[in-house]
Amino acid sequence: MPADRIAEQLAFLAEIDALKSVVRQSPLVNRSRRENSAEHSWHLAMFALVLGEDEAVDTGRVIQLLLVHDIVEIDAGDAPIHENHDPAEIEARENAAAERLFGLLPEDQAGKLRALWREFEAAETPEARFAKALDRLQPLLLNTLTGGGTWAENRVSEQQVQERYGPTIERGSAELWRHARELVRAHFNRADTPSS
């Protein structure tokens, strides 16, 4: 392998270490702090490995999509689901980030990773739809395990959760949405029950 190719690969790998510094809104289950985007991507890869067994998808490809999907946040930042954002502005920032970050790699690898990122964003393949579903399911699960987490902080209603998470999860896996919907209902039923 040519030395310049390895140097480019190592430069990319060093650069993506910055994903560990992108703090997300979702709390860890133990509530000690908020997760970072690198931890989120790893957790999603594990979701795919564990939950993909009964899905009609290539789990290896889903994992690839999940490992690259948030790399652009190094430059573009995280866009929390419960905040108002200009979609065109986010898309422009993320596209610029994808060009810069994946462009650090040798051309063939840059094209491959950029294509994976675009596939995830487009959500047209079964693998990308499942990956997107997991990307919504993971914070949903964290919120149900942390007393509401970002839902409580942002005063998000059950209906808003259903609308913001449901379609994406259901499009990727109707079975996972059935289970997730029950977690949401149980959470909000507990939240509505006065303490004795």
Confidence of residue 80 (pLDDT cuts 50, 70, 90): confident
3-192, superfamily in CATH? Answer: Hypothetical protein af1432 (1.10.3210.10)
Alpha-carbon separation of residue 13 from 19, 64, 102 (angstroms): 11, 15, 10
Q: How far apart are CA 63 and CA 42, in angstroms?
A: 9
Amino acid occupying residue 185: R
Q: How far apart are CA 89 and CA 144, in angstroms?
A: 31
Q: What is the pLDDT of residues 133-159, one digit of tens each?
A: 999 999 999 999 999 999 999 999 999
Indicate yes or no: pTM above 0.85. Answer: yes
Q: Is 70 helix (H, G, I), strand (E, B) or coil?
A: coil
Confidence of residue 196 (pLDDT cuts 50, 70, 90): very low
